[in-house]
Amino acid sequence: MEDGVFTVGIDLGGTKLLACLIDENWEVKEVMKKKTKPDQGPEAVVDRVVDVVKTLIEKSGQSRDRLKAIGIGVPGTVDSAAGTVIYAPNMPGWSQIAIGAMLHDRFAFPVTVDNDVNMGLLGEYHFGAARGYNYVVGVFVGTGIGGGLIMDGKLVHGANNLAGEFGHMVIQRKANSRECGCGNRGCLEAYAGRKSIVQKIASRARDGYTSMFKDIDFNTLTSNKLNNALIQKDRLVTKTIKTACQDIGVGIASLLNILDPEVVVLGGGIIEAMSDFMMPLIHQAVKNHTLSYDTRKTQIVLSQLGDYAIALGAASYAFSQSQTLSPSRHL
């Protein structure tokens, strides 16, 4: 394998860096994690990324000059053509940061930069739940709700790098509908992201609704704790998650009516932690709100890759983008 080329993919998270190295057969050869420490500023984070790439290459026993490209997924708005992070809300100081150029200065290899959600979807497309499809919608429910779109095998970035913001489709257009973090009202994310779910549970618990979560600190309410409450049949949590499934299903139905994809991949912390409970309920809600649902062949599937989806997608994107001058089976 010394003669082959390879890429490195990086998931630049607000808390941790996850990285992987894949060879030219797109086999995963090495993975690793490191803390991001975003409070130390963009320059320091780039140093840490450089360390990760070097360590990963060393550990894999590859020769550094066989590195073909580096791909990185960033939690924020990205101008992927320019390789610039426009804005990353959870990373202090990350506004208009030319991370592509900064990394290219250190390595002299091509660097692809994209949104973390897009890279996660691409991971599922190349390695996971969306393999074999060409027209894919991804919906990821975590703290917020993100999404991505692959059409004819290509990521859709949109005219302003803002395609796939599924969390901000409006599912409740009344003037008094729930306020969203984006400043608007009635967005899907304001109803069914983890932040909103926890807020609803907290407010109902304060109102005296019986629940095992009556006296806890709601900042510590993780997806896994919610799942435990579901398993123990906590009434408040069950009711709240059921409503979230209804809202997510309505949103996905709108996506089917608008886009008519071959497959919808569902992922993110909330869905992955409670998939047994949520997937059938979401499926039913999609059925109830999609035009001619029964005549469609569209699949609704659970993501498969877990933690390394973004790093894997970034590594594969680096490969396919570095091959755009020659025909490629991948993109």
Supply the minimum distance, in Å, between the C-beta of residue 283 and a copy of itself.
16
CB 300 within 8 A of CB 286: yes
Please measure the distance between the N-terminal and C-terminal CA atoms of the chain and give it in whole angstroms: 24
Q: Which of residues 2, 15, 65, 173 is near a copy of itself by CB under 8 A?
A: 173
Nearer to a copy of itself, 110 or 144 (CB): 144
Where do we find the tokens 């030319």? 98
Q: Is 329 in the site for a copy of itself (CB under 8 A)?
A: no
Half-sphere exposure of 262 (CA within 13 A, CB side): 13
Q: Is 121 in the site for a copy of itself (CB under 8 A)?
A: no
As a whole number of angstroms, the longest Cα–Cα distance in the chain is 66
Q: Which of residues 82, 170, 216, 301 is near a copy of itself by CB under 8 A?
A: 170
CB atoms within 10 A of CB 39: 10
Of the candidate spans 50-58, 61-69, 250-258, 271-279, the one that interacts with a copy of itself by CB under 8 A turns out to be: 250-258
Per rule CB under 8 A, count of chain residues that contact a copy of itself: 51
Q: Is 82 in the site for a copy of itself (CB under 8 A)?
A: no
Q: Is 298 in the site for a copy of itself (CB under 8 A)?
A: yes
How many degrees, rounded to 5, is the angle at CA 137 between CA 134 and CA 138?
A: 125
Cα distances (angstroms) measured from residue 226 to each of 41, 242, 308: 33, 12, 23
Nearer to a copy of itself, 36 or 240 (CB): 240
Binding string, residues 192-221; x marks residues near a copy of itself by CB under 8 A = ------------------------------
CB atoms within 10 A of CB 280: 11
**What are phi and psi for residue 115, nearest 5 degrees?**
-60, 140
Cα distances (angstroms) measured from residue 330 to each of 48, 69, 129: 30, 15, 16
**What are phi and psi for residue 112, nearest 5 degrees?**
-105, 140
Binding string, residues 18-47; x marks residues near a copy of itself by CB under 8 A = ------------------------------
Q: Which of residues 1, 101, 108, 162 is near a copy of itself by CB under 8 A?
A: 162
Supply the minimum distance, in Å, between the C-beta of residue 231 and a copy of itself.
27
Supply the minimum distance, in Å, between the C-beta of residue 263 and a copy of itself.
8
Which amino acid, 35?
K
Nearer to a copy of itself, 15 or 160 (CB): 160
Where do we find the tokens 């506004």? 95
Q: Is 301 in the site for a copy of itself (CB under 8 A)?
A: no
Of the candidate spans 25-33, 117-125, 226-234, 286-294, the one that interacts with a copy of itself by CB under 8 A turns out to be: 286-294
Q: What's the rounded Cα separation, in Å, for the pair 237 and 242? A: 8
What region, left, alpha or beta, does residue 164 occupy, with left being phi > 0 and alpha being psi -120 to 50 degrees? left
Of the candidate spans 12-20, 198-206, 211-219, 282-290, the one that interacts with a copy of itself by CB under 8 A turns out to be: 282-290
Q: Is 75 in the site for a copy of itself (CB under 8 A)?
A: no
Q: Which of residues 82, 98, 151, 216 is near a copy of itself by CB under 8 A?
A: 151
189 DSSP 8-state letter: H
Q: What's the rounded Cα separation, in Å, for the pair 169 and 147? A: 11
Q: Is 325 exposed, middle or buried (0-12, 13-18, 19+ CB in 10 A)?
A: exposed
Nearer to a copy of itself, 81 or 258 (CB): 258
Q: Is 246 in the site for a copy of itself (CB under 8 A)?
A: yes
Binding site for a copy of itself (CB under 8 A): 77, 135, 147, 149, 151-152, 156-166, 168-174, 182, 184-186, 246-247, 250-251, 253-262, 288-292, 295-298
